[in-house]
Homo-oligomer: A and B are copies of this chain.
């Protein structure tokens, strides 16, 4: 075994992810990536397959470290209303604390569908399906224990909550002010009130 890489591969993916996240796929050039990682061209292509590969890795990393990890924490919340509420608060908080206003990488990517492979599309759609399923499950749990009214439809309300979430993420990129995002979240919660 003759040599180890001089750079941390996952660090490169992390930095690359942030560029794609902020600027989108098409608007990000390889040069941008070289600049932000400090790595050289040859090293990049020695370690990765190319732009698409880099994007995919970044997206998977985001999905695992941001969305999945947050949802895993919320799974352990006992009170279903609180679990849903915490989800929204988390989104609002992370939207408001990001001074780059990058929004959500998954949402951003879903509006770039036409430029991406089906593999990428699947990551995104699966993510939204899981979020929707999460909401649905929590609503059902709430109905079982009487904290959420039986009159509402779990599946359809879940989808509406996802849409609100997406809306918050989009408006958080600069269209509405910070205060508005929390207000929207609070209103969305009325759907399960």
- B residues in contact with A114, CB < 8 Å: 22-23, 27
Q: Is the interface of A mostly helix, strand, loop or mixed?
A: helix
- B residues in contact with A167, CB < 8 Å: 162-167, 170
Q: How large is the interface on A (under 10, 10 to 19, 20 to 34, 35 or more residues)?
A: 35 or more
**A176 to nearest B CB, angstroms?**
7
In angstroms, Cα B191 to Cα A152, docked, is 13
Does A44 sit within 8 A of B, measured CB to CB? no
In angstroms, Cα B159 to Cα A188, docked, is 10
* In the complex, chain A residues 7-55 whose Cβ is within 8 Å of any chain B Cβ: 22-27
Bitwise, A150-161 to B at CB < 8 A (1) or not (0) is: 001100110110
B-binding segment of A66-74, A78-86, A120-128: A120-128
* In the complex, chain A residues 140-181 whose Cβ is within 8 Å of any chain B Cβ: 152-153, 156-157, 159-160, 162-168, 170-171, 173-176, 180
Q: Which of A111, A163, A184 has the most CB of B within 10 A?
A: A163
Can you report 17 residue pairs joining A to B where beta carbons are below 8 Å apart?
A: A23-B114, A23-B115, A25-B27, A110-B170, A110-B173, A111-B173, A159-B180, A159-B183, A159-B184, A160-B164, A160-B184, A163-B168, A164-B164, A166-B167, A166-B170, A167-B167, A190-B191
